Structure formats: C-alpha cells, structure tokens
Amino acid sequence: MAYWILKTEPDDYSWDDLNRAGRTVWDGVANNTALMHIRTMQIDDEAMIYHTGDVRAAVGIARVASAPYADPAAGDPKLVVVDVEPVRALARAVPLARIKAEPALAEWALVRQGRLSVVPCTAEQWRWLLEQGEG
C-alpha cells in the first residue's frame, strides 16, 4: 500500500463534498510530476485530503477506489485520474504550519514543492500525520 496527499481548493471541491458524494473522480491534475504519481496509484492506497488556499491543512483520509485511467472528460490519454472514496475525517486538521515546524519533514515534497497537487507520503510521514490528526 502507498500513501498520498491529494490537494484541493476547498471552494472548488472540499472534504465535505467528497463525503456527500461518497466517491469522485480525482481530476484536474495537469502537472507532469503529479500525473506520474497518479499513474502509480493502486486500489486501496490511502490518501490524505489536503485543503489548499486559506485552510492549508490535512483534513481527512480517502481510499483510492480505482486503478488509474485516462480522464474521460479531457480527451487526452496523458491526463489520468483515479476514483477516490472518503474513509474518515481527521479528529483535528493538521495545518501546514505544524508540518513545516517538524524538522524531520523538511525535505518532504509537501513542504518543498508547495504547488505539487499529488504528493507521495512515506509510511513514517503518514504515521506522523495520523498522530497529529487523531492522536
């Protein structure tokens, strides 16, 4: 199993929207590095939903519910998507400021590449996020 951070602007699509829908196509990704990450996702990988913009915090856990496939709305086979389903909200959001304050996370792409919309997460980084959000 792999772990991911999926960033979204909550005014466009929020954690609450995902909960209401029960399942969604994670689309709108155009960055080549982020698309490369989506292409490696597998069913049952876990993803932390991260709100960008004014919120800047990890807010909930989702599950990758499909293998990657070409975005049917894009008309370009290079643009890939996956389906995601909500698992549970974090008991408390984990703000970016708290993540940046942790020295062990200084080299994480979430910290170093702020504009990257799909970020891989190591098992250690995932555990840290869970401890902060649920511990």
Give the pLDDT of residue 135.
Answer: 75
Domains of the chain: which residue ranges?
3-134
**Chosen CATH of 3-134 out of 2.60.40.10, 3.10.590.10, 3.30.70.100, 1.10.3470.10:** 3.10.590.10
| Under 8 Å between Cβ of 128 and 105 | yes
Give the pLDDT of residue 45.
Answer: 98
Rounded Cα gap, residues 45 and 48, in angstroms: 10
Per residue in 7-54, pLDDT (tens digit) is 999 999 999 999 999 999 999 999 999 999 999 999 999 999 999 999
DSSP state of 127: H
Average pLDDT over residues 106-120: 94
Average pLDDT over residues 68-91: 95
Percent of the chain topping pLDDT 70? 100
